[in-house]
Structure 1
Amino acid sequence: MNGVSAMTVLSGNCLCGQVQVSVRGEALRVGICHCTDCRKESGSAFTFYGIWPAAQFEYSGETGEFRGRHFCTGCGSRLFSVDDEEAEIKLGILSEAPTPLVPRYELWIKRREPWLRPVEGAEQHEEDRR
């Protein structure tokens, strides 16, 4: 579904290497978000992320947190959000680049930069998924 098998482990880290992150198996969802929060949080035109069951996510190292979003206290890299059910990982932190994961949807396309083209084959949502 997402370019990885149920046995795959994807791992990555922050810029300074203090925080290590890994996820096992297939992502539940992979997307891109162009909303104002994601733009500001990422410092870019969008955020590329994957969501896994929380039980398939692990991390080590010291993180800070702002509104549920974890970042490295050493270098400030934005890393993940996690609750009891799901973990959302910023896919730019993965060690493998390019990643085998492909966005299946785009959110808040009404805020997408006009020079960015829609991801071919991905669902397009004006705002959040319904």
Structure 2
Amino acid sequence: MTVVRKGGCLCGKVTFSVAGEPTRVGLCHCTDCRQESGSAFTYFGIWPAHAFLSEGTTAEHGGRRFCPSCGSRLFVCDEHEAEVKLGSLRDAPSGIVPTYELWIKRREPWLVALPDAEQFDEDRP
């Protein structure tokens, strides 16, 4: 049976689902991710585009989709893949564990590296 995870924005006007397991999961500490999330990093999962479905009207800035009503940052999607902000999934904890960290040269010194996760100074090769 295929796992289907559901998520959405804070106000409920935008919802989405992803089917199956993500192809990869990471944390990103880059300046862009820090600024758009308002946090020290972004926690995201990547699914094939065909496994992703969204409903509701979103707005876009720099390819990133968000709810125009409540401002929740949700996903990036193109014809190949969907990158989902995993904090926007309904069920927490999700059990989805990051396998890599990006831009660790920007990681806050009080954050420790995730055990068993690949570490990249910048983007993945």
Which TM bucket (shorter chain)? over 0.9
User: Runs of 4+ in structure 1 displaced over 2 angstroms?
Assistant: none
1:75 corresponds to:
70
Stretches of structure 2 that go unaligned for 5 or more consecutive residues are: none
1:41 to 2:48 alignment: no
Normalized against structure 2, the TM-score is what? 0.98
1:12 corresponds to:
7
Identity of matched residues, %: 62
Distance in 1 (alpha carbons) for counterparts of 2:66 and 2:90: 17
Distance in 2 (alpha carbons) for counterparts of 1:58 and 1:73: 18
CA shift at 1:99, angstroms?
A: 1.0
Normalized against structure 1, the TM-score is what? 0.95
1:116 corresponds to:
111
Amino acid paired to 1:30: V
Amino acid paired to 2:124: R
Stretches of structure 1 that go unaligned for 5 or more consecutive residues are: 1-5
> Residue deviations 1:39-86, cap 9 Å, x none?
001000000000000000000011000111000011000000000000
SS at match of 2:60: strand
2:22 alignment partner, one of 14, 18, 27: 27
SS at match of 2:69: coil
Distance in 2 (alpha carbons) for counterparts of 1:21 and 1:40: 23
1:90 corresponds to:
85
